[in-house]
Amino acid sequence: MIHALEQGGLARAARVAVLALAATAVLGGCSLFSSKVKHEPAKLKDVQQVLAVSQAWSVSVGKSGRYVMQPFVWGNNVYVSAANGGVTALDGATGRTVWQGKADVDLTSGPGSDGTLTAVAGEKGTVVAFDEKGAQKWKSTVNGEVLTAPLVGQGLVIVRTTDGRILGLDGSNGDRKWIYQRSPSALNLRSSLPMIFAGDNVILGFAGGKLGALAANNGALRWEAAVSYPRGVSEIERLNDVTGSPSIDGQQVCAASFQGRVACFDVSTGAPRWGRDFSSPTGVTQDGGSLFAADEKSIVYGFNAQNGADLWKNDALLWRDLGAPLAFGHAVIVGDFEGWLHFLASDSGKFVARVKLDGSAISAAPVVVGQTLVVQTRGGGVYGYLPK
């Protein structure tokens, strides 16, 4: 049986006082119940707006429900989805709707796209693909829960299921071309684990603290490296899945694990460059020789991306359930559970700006389209900002 922790409250769920593994099957696995230690979120203090952040546009696309609907950028467009089946392509500069599509199932993931083909995942492992005008092109089923946005490109739609399978589907019709399967872990984080292309490889994190590269054409494992190793006695103590999206900067790919480490590797070979103890539920972002991540307490850290040395830490957002971060320009940007978007100086970690969105949580990482910062909330708002 597979036990899972839900990402929507991952930081809270990880702070466990008492565990009881239930025998009742839920969604083909087992439910995990816990009594959680309650922590009071830090109260926000006023921030001097050093960075001017002006809102360029906003639209409503539908609520995310209990899933993370990660926006995706291709060219000048940003692609977004909603739990009710809606899929929308927006012009990143203006927020204008380029096209709208509608899946006939409730969605469980954000979209992936190559500008011509856009794919999303829905309930019961349904994968739906749309053409460049938003018309449904095909629908396929992978027989497993999918929480991660499909990776689209190189003639493929690559899908990962929560039971450890990675499937390469033919982009023209949805037929399966290859499958890569790992042994399921006794306990894993039930979360979105984005995949990214690096040339003809697919870079992705796995349960058990591993990072790997699959050949895009046939799904063969080209390299695998350990971000971290399980430690402790109980299953919950040994939980150390890679979290968030791998981050590539030049020839270096970095990732973080929960209750594990943050580490960087050569993107072509998987050869380790450095690693250090760290625990993150949301992953890393890097830019300009620095790497940034938030831990499960919502403390934000800056590291030297070449050797992992400390640059700074900011604990003013303690227990605010931060979403995935983004490094953009001279700032690190991260949202919280109350819909605040925080801007931290990348060289010092000091606050340089803060804006309030619609009051619903910001779990997905912000994305950048040209000079526009785009943020999607769980409440269904999509916002374009111009930081200056």
Q: Are 104 and 84 in contact, with CB atoms under 8 Å apart? A: no
Q: Which amino acid, 108? A: T
Look at residue 23 in the predicted model and tell me its pLDDT. Answer: 23
- What's residue 233's pLDDT? 84
The two structure tokens encoding residue 29: 């696995």
pLDDT at 237: 86
Phi, psi of 11 (to 5 degrees): -65, -40
Q: Is the pLDDT of residue 185 over 90?
A: no
Give the pLDDT of residue 254. Answer: 98
In terms of average pLDDT, the best of 39-43, 182-186, 187-191 is 39-43
Q: Is the dihedral of CA 123, 130, 140, 374 positive or negative?
A: negative
Confidence of residue 2 (pLDDT cuts 50, 70, 90): very low
* CATH architecture under which domain 71-185 falls: Beta Barrel (2.40)
Q: Would you place residue 28 in the very low, low, confident or very high pLDDT band (cuts 50, 70, 90)?
A: very low
The closest of 217, 122, 131 to 173, measured between CA atoms, is 131
Give the integer Cα–Cα distance in Å for 121 and 110. Answer: 8
Helices and strands in the chain, H and E counts: 2, 36
- Neighbouring CB atoms inside 10 A of 8's CB total 18
- Which of 9-23, 32-46, 178-192, 341-355 is predicted most confidently? 341-355
Q: What percent of the chain has pLDDT over 70?
A: 90
Dist CA 188 CA 2 (whole Å): 7
Confidence (pLDDT) at 4 = 47
* Average confidence (pLDDT) over 154-174: 97
When pLDDT is cut at 50, 70 and 90, the band that residue 37 belongs to is low
**Residue given tokens 């999303």 in the structure block:** 120
Please write the tens of the pLDDT for every residue from 50-86: 999 999 999 999 999 999 999 999 999 999 999 999 9
* Average pLDDT score over the chain: 91
Among the residue ranges 32-46, 221-235, 253-267, the one predicted with the least confidence is 32-46
Helix (H, G, I), strand (E, B) or coil at 12: helix
